[in-house]
Chains A and B, each alone.
Chain A
Amino acid sequence: MLSGIATVVFWVIAALLVASALAVVLRRNIVQSALFLVLVFGAASGVFILLNAEFIAIVQILIYAGAVTILILFAIMLTRNSMSRQSNPANKQLWPAAIVCALLGASILFALFAPESHLATGATQTAPGTGVNNVARIGQLLYSPSGYSYVLPFEIASLVLLVAIVGAIAIGRED
């Protein structure tokens, strides 16, 4: 169960996460949006640390806050002056989109908390520690050649990354 200090940290991180996600979506300047996106990724990695997922928190910082944000900033830089007035305008469907999103959120919450839902949303009991470091356990689950592991999906993921690199070069190069 999460302790008292963890509860405070959760609420601070959750507020920061939602506020910076709203800033990403609502700012009119796209460079500011991209910088708030770094804040979203950092706060999400804080949530992962609260959930005892140290490896995913580190990967989140390295891949999202490091690589993806830099990639996005490069794309913004290379496509400058491509929009007419503001760098990040909204289209005409602002209110219909807001209504659709609110309805989706309401239906998700209903599905979670409806009395006939079998989901234990009130669970405070957490998984027993395996006694093994989280990173070591994930390493065993990803690589272990014998026993229960995700070796084949892992290799397929590396193939996906290779195809994505080649595809990005093929699509993005000058011809």
Chain B
Amino acid sequence: MSPFVLSDVSSIFYPITLGHFLVLGAVLFCIGLFGALTRRNAVSVLMSIEIMLNAVNITLVAFSYFNTSPQYANLLTGQIFAIFIITVAAAEAAVALAMVIGIYRRRNTIDVSDINLMKW
């Protein structure tokens, strides 16, 4: 019972199902991964990682919204997880930007292609 049946194109647009939010999350995650793999500015890599974390949050909140199980629906587990992810992401952003500024002070560059001391 996939919502994406090619013979019925209108069912792709309406109604909105759990699958729509999951695809949105997957697409955003891939865009963020592409940025993290290809950017050379360390701050830009960090911005891509924030996009990936947001994609995961959308997925978790969507699972929480579409969970109809009477036992678990009002526990909002997906939303609670999203809150903890936001917390950890804020901590990660603060530490990572401090590291970027520290690297800039010592090496005078934040190009991740030049920061390769530990490269194998």
- A21 to B22, alpha carbons, bound, how many Å? 16
B39 engages A88 (CB within 8 Å): yes
Given A97-B34, A97-B37, A171-B102, verify A72-B54 contact (CB < 8 Å). no
Q: How far is the CB of A67 from chain B (nearest CB, A)?
A: 7
A-B contact count (CB 8 A): 267
When distances are taken between beta carbons in the complex, the residues of chain A under 8 Å from B64 are 51, 53, 127
CA distance A2 to B13 in the complex (A): 12
Mark B20-53 against chain A: 1 for CB-CB distance below 8 A, else 0.
1111101111111111011111011011101100
CB-nearest residue of chain A to B65: A51
Q: Is the CB of B28 within 8 A of A18?
A: yes
Identify whether the interface residues of B are mostly helix, strand, loop, or mixed. Answer: helix
A134 to B76 Cα, complex, angstroms:
9
B17, A71: Cβ atoms closer than 8 Å: no
CB <8 Å contact, A164 and B91? yes
Report chain A residues within 8 Å CB of B20.
10, 14
B22 contacts across to A, CB distance below 8 A: 112, 121
Contact B16 A75 (CB under 8 A): no
**Which A residues are in CB contact (< 8 Å) with B110?**
79, 82-83
State in angstroms the CA–CA spacing of A168 and B42 once bound together. 16
Q: Quick one: which of B15, B23, B80 contacts A109, CB cutoff 8 A?
A: B23
Whether A21 pairs with B32 at a CB distance below 8 angstroms is yes
- B residues 45-70 in Cβ contact with A at 8 Å: 46-48, 50-51, 54, 57-58, 61-62, 64-68, 70
CB-defined contacts of B40 to chain A, threshold 8 Å: 83, 88-91
Contact among A25, A89, A121, A174 with B17 in the assembled complex (CB-CB below 8 Å): A121
- Where the two chains meet, the residues of A that have a C-beta atom closer than 8 Å to any C-beta of B are 1-2, 4, 6-7, 10-11, 14, 17-18, 21-22, 24-25, 30, 33-34, 37, 40-41, 44, 47-48, 51-53, 55-56, 59-60, 63-64, 67-68, 71-72, 74-76, 78-79, 82-84, 87-91, 93-94, 97-98, 100-102, 104-105, 108-109, 112-113, 115, 119-128, 130, 132, 134, 137-138, 141-142, 148, 150, 153, 157, 160-161, 163-165, 167-169, 171-172, 174
What are the 8 closest A-B residue pairs judged by CB atoms, nearest first?
A: A164-B91, A121-B19, A172-B98, A25-B35, A97-B37, A127-B73, A168-B98, A105-B30
**Other than the known A75-B100, A171-B99, what 9 A-B pairs have Cβ atoms closer than 8 Å?**
A2-B16, A17-B24, A51-B65, A59-B86, A83-B109, A89-B40, A127-B67, A141-B76, A161-B91
